[in-house]
Amino acid sequence: MNHQETIKWKTKEFLEYSKNNILLCEGVNDGFYGTIEGIPELFSSQCYELPCSENASVGMALSASAYELTTIICFQRVEFALLAIEQFANNAAKNNFLAGGNRPNPCLFRLVIGRGWGQGPSHSQSFESMFAQITGLNVFMPVFPRDSRYIFENFINYSSPTISLEHRWTHYAQDMKDDMDTNKKSYRVSLGSNLTILGTSYNVLLGLKVVELCRKRSIGLELINIFSLSEIDHDLIKASVMKTRKVLALDLDDRRYSVVSDVLCNLYLSGVELASPPVRLANKGDYSPSSPKLAKEYYLDCCDLIIAVCKILGLSDEERDELISEAVEIEKTCRSDVPNKEFSGPF
């Protein structure tokens, strides 16, 4: 079961559990990328089409959840939620605090990060650091099916709302293995002793390609998924970096005031000594171009990560050239404008 199918299954389970659980969506009958396809027909009295009035919609969901009508809201893109940022900052996170802990309002906001065909600069931003700065919100960036399972199974137990920032291209991901070291904060996706790679969202899948490429040459890369942005497991990250003493940190969006900047700052303040300066990578520009060719040059790819890994580890020119050549071959098998061959439609 891939990520998309898992979200659909958990949504159905959520609605089956109680008549007081409801689903609100802009485009409720369009299937929301296959994650709720057919569900509105099965639960017609619990699924509602939202008007294009995001501030009011978020306020309605928050109020409903404060009175035991638990809600899930789906916005087609993260940018739509910006129209309700006042609700998130002033009401969502503070409601239970202002009520002295007597009015929890657990609800889930599924916000989708776009990339590629049909997106351009207007629909490919993620804003994860902005949401993570709002005290009281539970902010997650799922990559694998098990990440979304955790979110769906736990958001109803929180006293404040949860935001799930779903990168559109992670919807096709599969769980790696049954013994994946996972918890709600951050977790290791792969073990290694030569270098620690820190990442979120789709960059974790990109990192996995590099991990496999290096593993063939007995280069051990430890990849950590920073799954929860509101409760980062700094101890886990510190333990990994103390072992490898080398860090490659990947940001999904803009480099300024970013998630990995905060993680690197915490490492520095905790006194971790590195064998070489940390390297931080992010998208190469302010906004994603609409042109597929230009967009391909804007986003990180395997070659970018391989070049950074070789530099950090001090590999020879021959080893670097061979790894880059192999990374180029991997990139040739990847579609630059859509996540995979099964993808259809501009969203």
Reported as a single tens digit per residue, the pLDDT across 25-73 is: 999 999 999 999 999 999 999 999 999 999 999 999 999 998 889 999 9
Using 50, 70 and 90 to split pLDDT, how confident is the model at 180?
low
Reported as a single tens digit per residue, the pLDDT across 70-79 is: 999 999 999 9
pLDDT, residue 101, reads 85
Using 50, 70 and 90 to split pLDDT, how confident is the model at 344?
low
What is the full DSSP assignment across 204-219?
Answer: HHHHHHHHHHHHTTT-
Using 50, 70 and 90 to split pLDDT, how confident is the model at 257?
confident
Question: Which residue type occupies 52?
Answer: C
Using 50, 70 and 90 to split pLDDT, how confident is the model at 102?
confident
Number of residues written out for the chain: 347
Percent of the chain, pLDDT > 70?
A: 97
Query: Could you tell me if 315 and 328 are in contact, meaning their C-beta atoms sit under 8 angstroms apart?
Result: no
Question: Which residue type occupies 70?
Answer: T
In sequence order, what E strands does the chain have?
22-25, 47-49, 71-75, 107-113, 138-140, 162-167, 187-190, 195-199, 221-225, 247-250, 279-281
Using 50, 70 and 90 to split pLDDT, how confident is the model at 254?
confident
pLDDT, residue 345, reads 65
pLDDT, residue 173, reads 93
Domains belonging to the chain, first-starting first, are 3-170 (3.40.50.970), 187-332 (3.40.50.920)
Reported as a single tens digit per residue, the pLDDT across 317-330 is: 999 999 999 999 98
